[in-house]
Structure 1
Amino acid sequence: MEGRIPTVGVEEEYFLVHPGTRAVEAAAGAVVARASAVLGDLVSGEFTAYQVEGRTPPCSGSEDLRKRLTGVRAAVSAAAGEEGLRLCASGTPVIGGDGPPVVGDHPRYRAGVKQYRAMLDDFAICAFHAHVNLPDREAAVLVGNHLRPWLPLLVAMSANSPFHRGQDTGYASWRSVVRGRFPCLGPPPYAESLAHYEQLATAMEESEALLEAGIPFWDVRPNPRLPTLEIRSMDVPANVDDTVALAVLIRALVVTAAAQVERGDPGPRVCGELLRAAYWRAARDGWSGTGVDALTGRILPATVQAGRLVDHVRPALDMHGETEQVTAFLRRLATRGTGAQCQRASAESHGGFAGVVDDLIDRTRPGRGVTPE
């Protein structure tokens, strides 16, 4: 992949909230029907009827990605408005609806409820997924080995779910905690090859820890239907510019790892237990705290880990002209904080969760751009 810029696309999940109660509303079917008239298959429902997913086509440059994503948000936001609702980009619902989530009408969702039971009673969470073009599935699995140690840092950088149904969880990314209790979610296993990866997925399916071996839900996976490597560990950011910056950072990480794989490096054998500990620490403390460097086991500030990541991928960022975009994002994190820090600041300044939701609606608004530093 050296010398070639792979395309990148994103998926974002949003909550639908009532502007009066600020609680989530189970209206995904009506909103998707309206939005699909504009977006076609770039919009769909999600696991619960509280959520809508928007996605971009593959994009070569960051400006194209930003334009496309802004257009997706605009169309979905307009459709929600026609139903008397608002779009809210948060990893968890700040104010919950009545009772358990209304599960979307999809055979896989119904099969999940049957298999995982009460574990899905509060599984209403919104993510951001990045897709980087990588059609060689064998190489994609080995690239995943290189990405594994950096996944906790991506959790910390994207953390945007400190509140859950009217409670302060004490975490920066409660969405990551909700996901972490499932045996089929979280960091992927280290795989020697594509055959080894598929063997592990098959064993997981046979144990009933995974629904389908062909559709694993690990945080890095060769997409089952697209020629992409999909990275899935992040909370959905409220600001479009943050999503775009994370997407191009992830693309640079994939490009760097693919070059290592081409040189015969299968990736570091990071201990699975240490990696899960790093995930948990990142979910709890987020960007403002210290975390576990999964490569060394040392406890380091997230800022130091981020500096190491940028240094690691800088040649790819420079090659694509995206270094300043990523460093500007890090400056925003240093001054404004992550989404979790913004939500807590909003709760303090507005005196409650309703103000948090209002602020999230405003920051999710198409064309809103970055929060001033």
Structure 2
Amino acid sequence: MGRPTEPGLHVPASVPAPTPAPAPELEPFRQSAALSLGVELELQLVNTHDYDLAPYSAEMLRLVEKVSLPGSVVPEMTSSMIEFSTDVCHSASEVLGQLTIIRDALVRCADKLNIACVGGGTHPFQQWHEQRIYDRPRFRQLSELYGYLSKQFTIFGQHVHVGCPDADSALLMLHRMSRYIPHFIALSASSPFVQGQDTQFDSARLNSVFAFPMSGRAPFTLRWSEFARFFAKSTRTGVIKSMKDFYWDIRPKPEYGTIEIRVFDTPLTIERAAALAGLVQSLGAWFLQEQPFVPEEDDYMVYTYNRFQACRFGLEAVYVDPPTGEHLPLREHILLTLDRVAPHARELGAGAAIEMLRDSAERGVNDALWLRETQGRERLLAEMVRQAAERFRGRQATG
């Protein structure tokens, strides 16, 4: 029997269903040199009269285009940010060499515009509602999706890529590396001030990241075939279109053959940025050469607590050791970790990087402390930013 209709209502005999768009596929995991490195740094652009953020990324990019540099310089979400990255490197010293070349070129370009480049995970007194979304399709799409969170994403991080022998090794390294997320946060923390206030966090930047629905940790799987099934299920929902849509603390980057660690605040100096890359590479060598432990899903029972502790208290945090449940000072666990990886660091030429971080941990000193001490002395956030800009230029550029 035919479907009843209201008088005068025309019902077509058949309406073809729209053809669903094919779900994006996970890229194959490309081959890369094991333990190769790539570093990305997001920088603040500030004016030089009150040291507030300045929307000059387009002008910076036009000037930088005229200079031959390693790596790349690209825009970021809002127009007071810029990101620069190295080419593929094989040592912390090579990372430092490339970062130095790019940093010096950016500083020269900024000087021509009467602005300055600054490290640090947050600008201490910018107002998020004043920021402008950079005119690029992906950034506009993210702004439409996430609303005000997009402008609040005017935060500045360091990302470190480390090469993995194959896809399964990448997942194993990702989950091993997850135990050391608090170490990375505490050693890089440089975002104690937000909207003119001391947040009492060493890394307040990560609180903005955690607001995004696809942040947090990667799903626990040690086989690429299982990860591919997870990705396929995620894309079928339409929520995820590519790996870029995951804001995980560590995520695989199959197009590069790496994992990407994303929890670092941008340090105040490129020397510290290179040292952190050396730590990642040394940990990776320890994992690959000694296979020190097999990660488990239960490791993540204390993951969020450890991450919070590191964000809140930095090097003074408490660390809960995942396999034992033992509570100990994070600084103590950092020093134990540096001892374990030191032989690998020396083989990789990262011995100086590890010693810089060891000195930092022993003294309980990170960039968040430097910022607080500078503000305590000067009692003017703009002056603190000015001095941070000088520090980024390489003046007083100690760890």
Whether these two folds match at TM > 0.5 is: yes
Tell which structure's C-alpha radius of gyration is larger: 2
> What corresponds to 1:35 in structure 2?
64
Q: 1:192/1:320 Cα in 2 relative to 1: closer, same or farther (>3 Å)?
A: closer
User: How far, CA to CA, are the matches of 2:396 and 2:311 in structure 1?
Assistant: 26
Instruction: Compute the RMSD of aligned alpha carbons.
Output: 2.4
Find the residue that maps to 1:74 and give its secondary structure. helix
Contact 1:10 1:55 in 2 (8 A): yes
Contact 1:9 1:55 in 2 (8 A): yes
Q: 1:85/1:323 Cα in 2 relative to 1: closer, same or farther (>3 Å)?
A: same
Please state how far the C-alpha of 1:57 moved relative to its aligned partner: 1.3
Find the residue that maps to 2:44 and give its secondary structure. strand
Q: 1:106/1:297 Cα in 2 relative to 1: closer, same or farther (>3 Å)?
A: farther
> What corresponds to 2:213 in structure 1?
183
Runs of 4+ in structure 1 over 6 Å off: none
Name structure 2 gaps, 5 residues minimum: 1-32
1:169-208 paired onto structure 2 within 5 Å: 169-206=199-236
> What corresponds to 2:367 in structure 1?
339
Verify: 1:287 aligned to 2:315, yes or no: yes
Please state how far the C-alpha of 1:180 moved relative to its aligned partner: 1.6
Q: 1:102/1:270 Cα in 2 relative to 1: closer, same or farther (>3 Å)?
A: farther
Verify: 1:329 aligned to 2:357, yes or no: yes
> What corresponds to 1:126 in structure 2?
156
User: How far, CA to CA, are the matches of 1:250 and 1:295 in structure 2?
Assistant: 21
1:349-364 paired onto structure 2 within 5 Å: 349-364=377-392
Which region of structure 1 is more displaced relative to structure 2, 213-222 or 11-20? 213-222
- 1:300 pairs, out of 311, 321, 328, with 328
Find the residue that maps to 1:285 and give its secondary structure. helix
Contact 2:212 2:247 in 1 (8 A): no
> What corresponds to 2:247 in structure 1?
217
> What corresponds to 2:11 in structure 1?
none
Q: 1:176/1:296 Cα in 2 relative to 1: closer, same or farther (>3 Å)?
A: farther
User: How far, CA to CA, are the matches of 1:211 and 1:368 in structure 2?
Assistant: 44
Which region of structure 1 is more displaced relative to structure 2, 181-190 or 75-84? 181-190
Counterpart amino acid of 1:234?
F
1:1-373 paired onto structure 2 within 5 Å: 6-38=35-67, 39=69, 42-97=72-127, 99-206=129-236, 210=240, 212-213=242-243, 216-259=246-289, 266-335=294-363, 337-366=365-394, 368-370=396-398
Counterpart amino acid of 2:376?
E
| Percent identity over paired residues | 24
Please state how far the C-alpha of 1:184 moved relative to its aligned partner: 1.5
Please state how far the C-alpha of 1:336 moved relative to its aligned partner: 6.9
Please state how far the C-alpha of 1:210 moved relative to its aligned partner: 4.4
Find the residue that maps to 2:108 and give its secondary structure. helix
Counterpart amino acid of 2:160?
A
Find the residue that maps to 1:24 and give its secondary structure. coil
Please state how far the C-alpha of 1:160 moved relative to its aligned partner: 0.4
Please state how far the C-alpha of 1:289 moved relative to its aligned partner: 3.2
Find the residue that maps to 1:37 and give its secondary structure. coil
Q: 1:359/1:273 Cα in 2 relative to 1: closer, same or farther (>3 Å)?
A: farther
Question: Over residues 119-175 of structure 1, what are the superposed CA-to-partner deviations in whole Å (9 max), with x where a residue is unaligned?
Answer: 334111111111222252221112111111111221111100000121111100001
Question: Over residues 84-143 of structure 1, what are the superposed CA-to-partner deviations in whole Å (9 max), with x where a residue is unaligned?
Answer: 110010101112057242122232222222222333341111111112222522211121
User: How far, CA to CA, are the matches of 1:304 and 1:46 in structure 2?
Assistant: 36
Which region of structure 1 is more displaced relative to structure 2, 239-248 or 110-119? 110-119
Contact 2:48 2:115 in 1 (8 A): yes
Which region of structure 1 is more displaced relative to structure 2, 242-251 or 196-205? 196-205
Instruction: State the TM-score, normalized to the length of structure 2.
Output: 0.84
Counterpart amino acid of 1:114?
E
User: How far, CA to CA, are the matches of 1:56 and 1:198 in structure 2?
Assistant: 29
Counterpart amino acid of 1:353?
L
Find the residue that maps to 2:372 and give its secondary structure. helix
Q: 1:201/1:359 Cα in 2 relative to 1: closer, same or farther (>3 Å)?
A: farther
Which region of structure 1 is more displaced relative to structure 2, 160-169 or 202-211? 202-211
Please state how far the C-alpha of 1:320 moved relative to its aligned partner: 1.8
Please state how far the C-alpha of 1:217 moved relative to its aligned partner: 2.9
Contact 1:101 1:121 in 2 (8 A): yes
Q: 1:295/1:235 Cα in 2 relative to 1: closer, same or farther (>3 Å)?
A: farther
Find the residue that maps to 1:161 and give its secondary structure. coil
User: How far, CA to CA, are the matches of 1:344 and 1:109 in structure 2?
Assistant: 33
User: How far, CA to CA, are the matches of 1:241 and 1:76 in structure 2?
Assistant: 16
User: How far, CA to CA, are the matches of 1:40 and 1:314 in structure 2?
Assistant: 29
- Count matched residues: 366
User: How far, CA to CA, are the matches of 1:24 and 1:194 in structure 2?
Assistant: 42
Name structure 1 gaps, 5 residues minimum: none
Question: Over residues 176-218 of structure 1, what are the superposed CA-to-partner deviations in whole Å (9 max), with x where a residue is unaligned?
Answer: 1111222322332221311222333444455566453465332
Which region of structure 1 is more displaced relative to structure 2, 36-45 or 352-361? 36-45
Find the residue that maps to 1:79 and give its secondary structure. helix
User: How far, CA to CA, are the matches of 2:290 and 2:378 in structure 1?
Assistant: 48
